[in-house]
Structures are given as structure tokens and as C-alpha cells.
Amino acid sequence: MKPKIMNVVGARPNFMKIAPLMEEFKKYSEFEATLLHTGQHYDEIMSKLFFDDLGLPQPDIYLGVGSANHGAQTGQIMIDFESVLLKERPEIVVVVGDVNSTIACALVAVKQGVKVAHVEAGLRSFDRTMPEEINRLLTDQISDFLFITEKSGEENLLKEGIDKKKIHFVGNVMIDSLLNHLKKAQSSKILDDLDLKSGNYITLTLHRPSNVDSKQQFLQILNALSEIQKEIPIVFPIHPRSKNRLNQFGFEDKLKEMPGLLVTEPLGYLDFLKLLAESKFVLTDSGGIQEETTVLGVPCLTLRNNTERPVTITQGTNLIIGNKTEAIVEESKKILNGNAKKGRRPDLWDGKAGKRIVEVLLRSF
């Protein structure tokens, strides 16, 4: 029997991180690589569309856990994943990113004596009100392989007492996916479909609980958008969490008063990549989009008070501007007036992170 490596995905940002690894594993016949999907995200537009766009194989195992509060969701993944592990007995479980599926599967694996590899380790916002920060901290403490995307990750992990031998600076698998798919994305028809002109619109994404779960805070952002859409169209592919909140807070009328704000369903990977690449600039509270805009050379204004990805600030096109109306309007106008931040691509964000990770894992057998 060949040694088995089980790769875990759960939520939308996991899919583009695991795709380059699955591709790389194909080159090695020494071990069997399987894919497990927890089903944390389950809608066609949040999950299946990404499998198709990224050329990901169908998951070998699908847990179908769905949405719930944090305790219930994390707990359900753990219960279901434990039964799978007892049967499958992989040598290594690979988890990516910082979602609930990441910590749930890492915790079950380590308790069964299965080695855990954490891809995108060491990132820290130092904001423990973010569920992702808790997931990152705990996953890193129990992982055997910590694959980091930027040097800040090593400093953070060493301060937390992680053995240097476990830390591997390999680059960024999310950027592997971006570089692999950029050419294909160029032929997406999304700009025509939405009647947009290259370089003459802004892309907006919003889904952090800290921005959309409070009515007052969400309103701060909508008031800024109301000003900005007078100058340039804004496209807003809306995350289900934010859509639920918009309805719950009764903001539909407010949106109707903004003809320049185009709210769409969530987009697939290729359409979204095209949309990002041709944007004048991007407004976001996502983690991964801060990195993608840096590589695309598109200015990014991050509507948060911190970032776990500081290299996008020190080297990239990203600016942290908080989430208050005045700051969002002011910083947007600066870019519209020709004062956009320029950046460069960080070290090892070269499309070969997946290759480096698989080589490290292979050496451990």
C-alpha cells in the first residue's frame, strides 16, 4: 500500500490553495493523494464552480457539514472527520488557510497521531476577535509542517515557540493558482456581461463579520459607496453572509439610490480574476485579495484595521484604511486623482510554491 496524503478543503478560499498541490501530487507515484471536502461551503456558486474553474478533481470524500454557529460547525466537522481518518489512515493530513475546517481537521488528525501540514502558516493579524486568527494560532501550534508565504510568518512562529526545523518558506500557493489561470481568465466575458470598461470600475468585496454583522458599521461602508459610485462604477459580487445582512438590516432601498453600484451574485474563479485584473482599484476586507492585487499590480484599499499579510503593505499595492466613511471616500479619491500605490511581487510568489511543498513532504517519507 502506498502512503496516503489527505488534502482538506472546506470553504471558498481553500479551493485555489489546494489546486496547485493536487496538480503537483499527480507527478509522483510514490504516494496516493486524496481530496476531502468538508462541505463548509456548499452552494454551487461558492463551491462547485471553483472545482470546475480550477480543474480540481471531484473530492474522494464529501462530509456535507454545511453552515452553523462556530461550535456546532467545527464540532460536526471533527465528528465526521474522525470516522474518516480511522478508516483511511493517511500518513499526512494537509490543511490550508484559516477557516473552521482547517482547525477542525488538524485537531482530529493530531490526536490520532497523523502528521499535519499547514499551508499558509504563521500569518497573524494580532486581532483575536477574528475567528480566523484563533484558527491560525491553534492550527500552527499542532502542525508538524508549517509552510509560510512570507518572512513575517517565521518571526511570528518562532515567537510562539515553534521549532525552526518545522518552518518552510515556500511561497504562496494562492499565487500559483493565479499565475496558472491568468491567461485563461483573460478570455472571460465578464466585463462585456456587466457592461464594464477595463480600468474604469472598482471591484468591491465584503464579508468580514466585523464589517457586515453590525448595522451601524455596514452603514458606514454603504455611505462611502454612495459617494464613490457618483465618480466611477462599483461592482460588488456579494457574499451570502453580506446578502443576508443587507436584507436583515433593510438596506435594499439604500442600494436602489446608487445607480453606480452593481451588485452581482458571487463569481467563479476565472471571471473574478478577470474582474480584479482590469479594476481601477479594489476595495476589500478579504485576506487573499490583498495578495492577488499585489501580484496583479492593482491598487487595493483594505477596509480593516489590521492585516495578517504585512508583505502586501511593505512590498505590495495594499493600504489598510479602516472601515469609516470618510477614510474610504478620501483614500478612493486619492487613487481616482492619480495617486495610486505601486508595489512589487514578494519573494517566492513565483508559481512554484506547490512544487516546493510537495518536495518537502516527499523528503519526510
Residues assigned a catalytic role: 207
d(CA 310, CA 316): 9
Q: Strand, helix or coil at 220?
A: helix
Among 2, 43, 265, 344, binds ligand UD1 (CB under 6 A): 43
Using the CB atoms, write b or e for 140-169: b if 16+ within 10 Å: beebbbbbbbbbbbbebbeeeebeeebbbb
DSSP state of 143: -
User: Given the C-alpha cell 479602516, which residue does it identify?
Assistant: 322
Q: Which stretch binds ligand UD1 (CB under 6 A): 11-19, 50-58, 227-235, 301-309?
A: 11-19
d(CA 205, CA 235): 9
131 binds ligand UD1 (CB under 6 A): yes
Q: Which stretch binds ligand UD1 (CB under 6 A): 98-106, 147-155, 313-321, 346-354?
A: 98-106
Binding mask 235-254 for ligand UD1 (x = CB under 6 A): ----xxx--x----------
Q: Which is nearer to ligand UD1, 15 or 201 (CB)?
A: 15
In terms of Cβ atoms closer than 10 Å to its own Cβ (0-12, 13-18, 19+), residue 241 is middle
Sorted by sequence, the CB contacts under 8 Å of residue 10 that are 6+ apart come out as 37, 38, 39, 40, 41, 77, 99, 100, 101, 102, 105
Among 7, 76, 100, 279, binds ligand UD1 (CB under 6 A): 100
Q: Which is nearer to ligand UD1, 57 or 64 (CB)?
A: 64
Among 5, 12, 90, 234, binds ligand UD1 (CB under 6 A): 12
Q: Strand, helix or coil at 55?
A: coil
Binding mask 188-227 for ligand UD1 (x = CB under 6 A): -------------------x--------------------
Q: How far is the CB of 46 from ligand UD1 (least distance, A)?
A: 4
Name the site residues for ligand UD1 (rule: CB under 6 A): 11-13, 40-43, 46, 67, 98-100, 131-132, 207, 239-241, 244
